[in-house]
Amino acid sequence: MFIIPNYTVAVVFCLITMLCWGSWANTQKLAAGQWRFELFYWDYVIGIFLFSLLSALTLGSIGEGGRPFLTDIAQADKSNMFSAILGGVIFNASNILLAAAISISGMAVAFPVGVGLALVIGVIINYINAPVGNASILLGGVVMIVVAILLNAKAYRTNPDSSVSLSRKGLWLAIISGGLMGLFYKYVAQSMFPDFQIPQPGKLSPYSAVVFFSIGVLTSNFLFNTLLMWKPFIGEPLRYANYFRGGSRNHAMGILGGTIWCIGLLFSIIASDKAGPAISYGLGQGATVIAAIWGIYVWREFRHAPQTTHRLLNIMLLCYVAGLSLLIIARDA
């Protein structure tokens, strides 16, 4: 299977993860205007599942390092399969709430609050499980990111384009999403053998782990998204028939969004071999900066906000960049 050779390449892969995780939500916005996010989300999880299989059968089955995909799943312990699947279930619960928060509050709010909180929780938990990097510098990076989250929340309260009731709902959904999202990565990491060059009996390769993760996402969606269609946060209830009335653009945008997100996950997972899970996950969740830039400067979600709000948003972005920089240098400090 394909394995990253050194830390420098791992950082590059983490930055690509950041771009993917911060940009997939654009496909939700680019879907047809009346295409509800609950319907978009079915194609999104299908995209995740299909790309996980494609990558396992290609990158996960070539080269001399590690263990080929089909051989790997044939020897895997059920406990490790379940761990990766559980990670997918937890992620899906969090991500569907994030998608709801995006539809209510926009990318510039949902990502900094939800994903920022997930970054803080995930870095701490993954560092406890695999302490790679300088703890003090990692803590400094986390503190800067917390400051950025608080600045973003303050900026959102001054945005005249958001109603009070919806802003509260969107913020709370983002907070709950972040609390859950910070937990999923450790279950996927625990299912894999830590040194990708040296397979361990019963453990999964990173490519196999992503496949079982995607199975957890896909299967749990029949519960989570069905419930959300029946009892949506905003709008009228939906039926499965609504999904099949969507056009090719609607479905293509969802599959593309899931594919982009899964590329980010795969790159983050295979980078964790050289960077460590805490740094790999933390850098990937720098997606918040990318999403905020999309929301602020491209989708102009704060176009009617006062100048003081824009100053807060720019300071928020600087705090995020400073925090992510600290995460990068923590590995070799």
CA distance 328 to 154: 27
Average pLDDT score over the chain: 89
Query: What is the band of 253 on the pLDDT scale with cuts at 50, 70, 90?
Result: very high
Does 127 reside within a domain? yes
Q: Report if residue 1 sits inside a domain.
A: no
- Domain count within the chain: 1
Q: Left (φ > 0), alpha (ψ -120 to 50) or beta: where does 133 sit?
A: left
- Residue 100 CA, chain-centre distance (Å), reads 14
Asked whether the predicted pLDDT for residue 161 surpasses 70, the reply is no
CB 188 within 8 A of CB 90: no
> Rounded distance, CA 316 to CA 113, Å?
11
CB atoms within 10 A of CB 29: 19
**Does residue 3 fall inside a structural domain?**
no
4 part of a folded domain: no
Instruction: Give me the mean pLDDT over the 83-107 stretch.
Output: 89
**Among the listed ranges 30-44, 54-68, 82-96, 242-256, which one has the minimum average pLDDT value?**
30-44
Of 287, 186, 193, 222, the closest CA to residue 92 belongs to 222
User: Which token pair is 175?
Assistant: 């907070």
Confidence label for 164 from pLDDT (cuts 50, 70 and 90): very low
Confidence at residue 284, expressed as pLDDT on a 0 to 100 scale? 82
Report d(CA 203, CA 43) in Å as an integer.
30
pLDDT value for 162: 56
What is the distance between the alpha carbons of residues 282 and 14, in angstroms, rounded to a whole number? 9
User: Model confidence over 109-145: pLDDT tens digits?
Assistant: 777 788 778 888 988 898 998 898 899 999 998 889 8
pLDDT tens track for 172-225: 888 899 999 889 999 999 999 989 999 999 999 999 999 999 999 999 999 999
Tokens 């802003």, located at residue:
167
What is the distance between the alpha carbons of residues 257 and 253, in angstroms, rounded to a whole number? 6
| Alpha helix ranges (H) inside 106-204 | 107-110, 116-129, 135-157, 164-190
Is the pLDDT score of 165 beyond 70?
no
For residue 45, is pLDDT > 70?
A: yes
Query: How many angstroms separate the CA atoms of 283 and 3, rounded?
Result: 19
Q: Is residue 5 part of a domain?
A: no
Residue in 151, 182, 132 with CA at minimum distance from that of residue 328 = 132
How far, in Å, CA of 15 to CA of 138, rounded? 17
C-alpha 83/C-alpha 187 separation (Å) is 5
pLDDT, greater one: 293 or 15 = 15
- The domain in which residue 17 lies consists of 10-330
Q: Is residue 49 part of a domain?
A: yes
d(CA 38, CA 298): 24
User: What single-letter amino acid sits at 80?
Assistant: N
Q: Is residue 323 part of a domain?
A: yes
Surface-to-core class of residue 239, CB atoms within 10 Å of its CB (0-12 exposed, 13-18 middle, 19+ buried): exposed
pLDDT tens-place string over residues 69-85:
999 999 999 999 999 99
Type of residue at 248: S
pLDDT band for position 167 (cuts 50, 70, 90)? low
Place of tokens 């609607």: 250
Model pTM score: 0.86
pLDDT (average), residues 266-281: 90
In the prediction, which pLDDT does 105 show?
76
Whether residue 2 is contained in a domain is answered as no
